[in-house]
């Protein structure tokens, strides 16, 4: 077993915006550290030296691999895949992982297909270097997967692993050759909605609204409450499908997975798909006029009706 551990080497693909590291990468680094062996982190971007320096201080990282090219702007999977394949060929990594965000879910299945291996998505536990645990049936069952592929490719559920410490590390840095542009797609621009609220997947407090709010205008009540609690605002799929809020606010099986210290569900019945995205929250509070709503089975506290101004209660 000791020999097996010495042979392990893992590549973590960093998610960032060329200035700041996305928090879920720290969770992926913790997961990679549990495999044993060396952990390297690939930072690919344009003018991303600041991110590379940040990662070099993270505990658990042995080496930071830096690749800079204009084609890596925006983290397009069509451009990053050849780089990851070339890096894998050069360093012979036994594992490749990233956070189970939109970035990781878009990129790593493509990498796995090119390597002709089966990827493992959204793992919540590592049993051994070749055995992983993931949820199935909307989180109602656990599946233990033994992977015999030559290279194990997987994404990591951020809420299932602690974030790696961002100081105390002393990783070396190495520049890797950036591949030329594939030319299949081109990054043009990104239009972001600026918010002073915390990012949904990393917030310590989340306030979510459902179809019971009746309209998008009523979400203003949740925004006011969230601002008082320094919380992020989420929504059920029903609220998103009804057009109350944009889909990047969706919490659930097909949305974002959250596990805050406090989760407040307002007007959410608690469909199994929504519960799959928030049931690991430390404390769950619901405000709902239906005492038979499924979400009450998961509660720490309940209010039986929706107040006109919950922020004042």
- Provide the pLDDT for residue 289: 87
CA separation for the pair 108, 35 (Å, rounded): 18
Mean per-residue pLDDT, 220-232: 95
To which residue do tokens 């796995």 refer? Answer: 112
Domain 2-175 and domain 200-312, same fold? Reply is yes
- Provide the pLDDT for residue 256: 94
CA separation for the pair 158, 124 (Å, rounded): 8
- Provide the pLDDT for residue 304: 53
Give binding residues as ranges.
211, 236-237, 250-254, 267-274, 288
pLDDT (tens digit, 9 = 90+) per residue, 232-266? 999 999 999 999 999 999 999 989 999 999 999 99
Angle at 265 between CA 162 and CA 242, to 5 degrees: 110
pTM score = 0.85
- Model confidence at 38, in pLDDT bands (50, 70, 90)? very high
Q: Please report, in angstroms and rounded to a whole number, the separation of the first and last CA atoms in the chain.
A: 57
User: Which among 264, 253, 254 has a CA at the least distance from the CA of 210?
Assistant: 264
CATH of domain 200-312: 3.40.50.1220
Give residue limits of the domains in the chain: 2-175, 200-312
Average pLDDT, the chain: 91
Would you state the CATH architecture of domain 2-175?
Answer: 3-Layer(aba) Sandwich (3.40)
CA separation for the pair 201, 72 (Å, rounded): 24
Give binding residues for FAD as ranges.
211, 236-237, 250-254, 267-274, 288
């Amino acid at each position: 077993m000791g020999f097996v551990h010495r042979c392990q080497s893992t590549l973590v693909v960093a998610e960032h915006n060329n200035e700041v590291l996305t928090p879920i990468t720290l969770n992926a680094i913790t997961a990679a550290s549990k495999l044993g062996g060396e952990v390297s982190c690939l930072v690919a971007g344009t003018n991303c030296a600041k991110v590379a320096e940040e990662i070099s201080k993270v505990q658990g990282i042995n080496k930071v691999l830096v690749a800079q090219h204009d084609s890596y702007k925006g983290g397009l999977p069509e451009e990053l895949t050849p780089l990851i394949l070339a890096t894998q060929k050069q360093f012979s990594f036994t594992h490749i992982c990233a956070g189970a965000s939109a970035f990781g879910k878009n990129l790593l299945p493509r990498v796995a297909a090119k390597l002709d291996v089966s990827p493992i998505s959204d793992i919540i536990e590592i049993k051994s270097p070749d055995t992983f645990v993931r949820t199935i049936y909307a989180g109602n069952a656990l599946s233990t997967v033994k992977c015999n592929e030559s290279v194990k490719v997987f994404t990591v559920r951020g809420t299932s692993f602690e974030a790696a410490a961002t100081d105390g590390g002393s990783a070396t840095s190495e520049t890797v050759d950036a591949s030329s542009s594939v030319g299949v797609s081109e990054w043009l621009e990104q239009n972001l909605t600026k918010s002073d609220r915390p990012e949904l997947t990393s917030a310590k407090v989340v306030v979510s609204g459902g179809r019971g709010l009746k309209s998008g205008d009523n979400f203003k009540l949740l925004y006011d409450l969230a601002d008082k609690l320094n919380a992020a605002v989420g929504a059920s799929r029903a609220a998103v499908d009804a057009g109350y809020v944009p889909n990047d606010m969706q919490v659930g099986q097909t949305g974002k997975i959250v596990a805050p210290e406090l989760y407040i569900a307002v007007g959410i019945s608690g469909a199994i798909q929504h519960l799959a995205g928030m049931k690991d929250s430390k404390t769950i509070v619901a405000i709902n006029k239906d005492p038979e709503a499924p979400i009450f089975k998961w509660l720490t506290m309940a209010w039986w009706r929706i107040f006109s101004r919950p922020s004042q209660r």
